Amino acid sequence: MVSLLVQIIFAGTSPRVWEASIIAVPLVLVGLVLGQKLFVKLNQDLFRTVTYILLIFTGLYLLFDSLF
């Protein structure tokens, strides 16, 4: 929401930005609610490990994609 507000103020928006925002905002709210509910149920160490693994593989993919 903040990034959309900043874009509106400083850069202006196009109809495509508004369409994407209309689609994204409800999904963000659903993700926020689900994240809050799952937070108390998930093991924090497991979550951190899975997140690091995803970041490593994403970084390696981007590195190899840019090199080859």
pLDDT digit string (tens) for 6-41?
Answer: 877 877 777 887 888 889 999 999 999 998 998 888
Instruction: Judge whether residue 4 has pLDDT over 80.
Output: no
Instruction: Judge whether residue 42 has pLDDT over 70.
Output: yes
Token digits for 39? 């937070």
pLDDT of residue 21: 82
pLDDT of residue 1: 66
Q: Which domain holds residue 21?
A: 2-67
Domain count, the chain: 1
Out of 9-13, 44-48, 49-53, which region has the weakest mean confidence (pLDDT)?
9-13
Percentage helix, strand, coil for the chain under 3-state DSSP, each rounded to 5: 85, 0, 15
pLDDT of residue 61: 97
